[in-house]
Amino acid sequence: MNPFLGELIGTALLVLLGNGVVANVVLTGTKGNNAGWIVITWGWGMAVFVAVFTVAAFSGAHINPAVTIGLAIAGKFEWASVPAYIAAQFLGAFIGAFLVWLFYRPHYAVTKDTDLKLATFCTAPAIRDTLSNLASEIVGTFVLVFAVLFLAVSVFGLGALDALPVGLLVLAIGLSLGGTTGYAINPARDLGPRIIHAILPMPGGKRDSDWGYAWIPVVGPIIGAILAGLLYLVLQDPGNIHFR
């Protein structure tokens, strides 16, 4: 499997299982309805574990443009490969979101709350405050990327044996920092499914895709990744900062 396909499949698995657990918890009539935040955060953590374990040997399992950018800034990934990785991640996110829609279609039809339907595709803030929401995504992604940089063991990024620690890392971020914005911490995971929500017909009706907020889960994670990569460089070699 080539790295592009690895990133595509890994991100598709991430979104299928991650957004799938959200759908299981919030949509009407599911077995997991009203199971709560703990189930969602555990589901996302295990989604990361499955995705990373499955494709780490092929692509390093970045499955997140922020991780790819952070690794590149830290000199652990070639900048020339960044565009292809990000393209694969977005394509994978499209596929994963489509599969969630297909899988839970009967439950979308009986769910009246269109906000809950949107939540199965992308994030939204608990309290809308642009600076606070942006800061939440910056800090959450900083923690993710900074920790991942210390787990990165190969030219591609993560080794397969690092899958569980990364899953637990995402679980910790969700439990501790996810309550403000839903911890997108991944531009592809949020923007890709949001586009799919806008495109697909929704059984039982849908609301708009909240485009006024959509830039925050993209810009915030990128800023967080850049800061994490720069701090990693400073800590590794304070007197010789350079980009490779």
Predicted pLDDT of residue 6: 96
State the SS3 of 175-242.
Answer: HHHCCCCCCCCCHHHHHHHHHHHHHCCCCCCCCCCCCCCCCHHHHHHHHHHHHHHHHHHHHHCCCCCC
Mean pLDDT is lowest, of 31-35, 128-132, 148-152, for 148-152
Predicted pLDDT of residue 232: 94
| Mean pLDDT along residues 158-173 | 80
Predicted pLDDT of residue 150: 87
- The CATH number that domain 3-236 falls under is 1.20.1080.10
| Mean pLDDT along residues 48-71 | 94
Predicted pLDDT of residue 184: 98
| Mean pLDDT along residues 64-76 | 96
pLDDT at 44 over 70: yes
pLDDT at 154 over 80: no
* Cα–Cα distance list, 37 to 109, 116, 127, 171, 195 (Å): 23, 14, 17, 11, 24
Predicted pLDDT of residue 153: 53
Percent of the chain residues past pLDDT 70, beyond the cut: 93
pLDDT at 143 over 70: yes
pLDDT at 157 over 80: no
pLDDT at 100 over 90: yes
pLDDT at 73 over 60: yes
| Mean pLDDT along residues 217-243 | 86
| Mean pLDDT along residues 6-12 | 97
| Mean pLDDT along residues 17-29 | 98
The rounded mean pLDDT for the chain is: 93
**The two structure tokens encoding residue 50:** 């499955």
| Mean pLDDT along residues 74-88 | 96
pLDDT band at 156 (very low <50, low <70, confident <90, very high): very low
Predicted pLDDT of residue 239: 61
User: CA–CA separation, 230 vs 26, rounded Å?
Assistant: 38
Q: Could you tell me the residue ranges of all domains in the chain?
A: 3-236
**The two structure tokens encoding residue 243:** 């980009």
pLDDT band at 155 (very low <50, low <70, confident <90, very high): very low
